[in-house]
Chain A
């Protein structure tokens, strides 16, 4: 769930930023989307990407933990019943 929200928000922000860029520099939104990730706006993209990956790892780990807790909770409930 959290991973999903992460991707969803990531892409929404991507589109928003690309929209602004395309409006400012007068090119189409597709170009804007492309430029944003491949045009080296950031000099040290490595750090950012690693930050993103850390965030993603956090998401996945939390999701797995939540899923397990839920499963356990369900089992406990089932036993009680």
Chain B
């Protein structure tokens, strides 16, 4: 089977859409009130560190996915167990992402259409795209990314023109000190959206130029964070802190403030389109991560799994929680501690320790495994 290749631009586009994904739908860092943008700014630095950590981990054994790394560290049997854990984790996350979108559609654009239909249709599209392969996903996101910038630009212009923006809403900066920022940083911003980049560990090996890949992913994270900060500021100056806290989908509420003359009044559709793209990419990248895991466990090409497991995601995206409040509650209280932290940082950290230890032993013995990129990996910054 030929290896699928994605270019650096495509990696950046994937990262950008992935990070914007559901983060832009439900808004992040809201705990920090009107300092949310500072919180995101700090989180960006951590996010950059996170992705470099994942790169460092993957560069230990280049050309292998997360699952093969697990096998190297823990042996095939234990690796299958852990991989199953990762698969479930990725599918669950994919389901959460789709649920976010379903709720958005139900409350914004299609109030009379059952959320099940929305989940099923978007999951079918995701399944089809993944059936066509990772390249197609990357190219699709590459095609649509310019529109994303265009629409955000358009939204800003419209908001400026309609005179809804009050810069004073940003004040006072750090009115309550650093405490709320820290509160929103851990575990909120750390695990969502930046920690979720763990799923890219199955994509890194497809990048054409692994050396430049690190730089490109840093750029991707940077641009995404810039857009997140930008949209966060946009929300604060348009809605004010109270408005954001009261609304389920702050960016959508922001868009609804647009009113120019009597003509351009409701541009919800545009905003929903921005969000839909992010959701689509994020959902599919998560699903792709799970599919690669299944490929590893069952040794069958991942395409065969794509449609059935997309349906599975649709099923659980609805059953995941009773209502939207429940959904958010789970996302704040349970998921970060029981799923995000162990799978994003716990297992990789253990893996890194084992890897370093094994490689050291291997070097002493000079036999057994061949660690191709030892010298290369040493030069990597930011570990």
Contacts and interface: CB of A to CB of B under 8 A. Distances in A.
Q: Do chains A and B touch in the complex (CB under 8 A)?
A: yes
Given A1-B298, A24-B334, A17 B311 contact: no
Interface residues of A, number: 32
Contacts, number: 100
Given A9-B87, A9-B309, A48 B120 contact: yes
Interface string B299-314: 0100011011111101
A5 interface: yes
A13 B91 CA distance: 8
A54 B128 CA distance: 14
Given A13-B92, A44-B114, A47-B114, A2 B315 contact: no
A9 B330 contact: no
Interface string B226-252: 000000000000000000000000000
B116 A42 contact: yes
Contacts of A56: 308
B120 A58 contact: no
Interface stretch (B31-39, B209-217, B318-326, B347-355): B318-326
Contact of A16 (B92, B114, B310, B314): B92
Interface string B280-312: 000000000000001001101000110111111
A16 B90 CA distance: 12
A9 B88 contact: yes
Contacts of B319: 17, 36, 41-42, 48
Interface residues of B, number: 40
B315 A51 contact: yes
A56 B329 CA distance: 32
Contacts of A21: 321-322
A48 to B, nearest CB: 5
A36 B322 CA distance: 9
A45 B308 CA distance: 17
A55 interface: yes
A43 B319 CA distance: 10
Nearest to B305: A2
Interface of A: 1-2, 5-6, 8-10, 12-13, 16-17, 20-21, 23-24, 36, 41-45, 47-48, 51-52, 54-56, 58-59, 62, 66
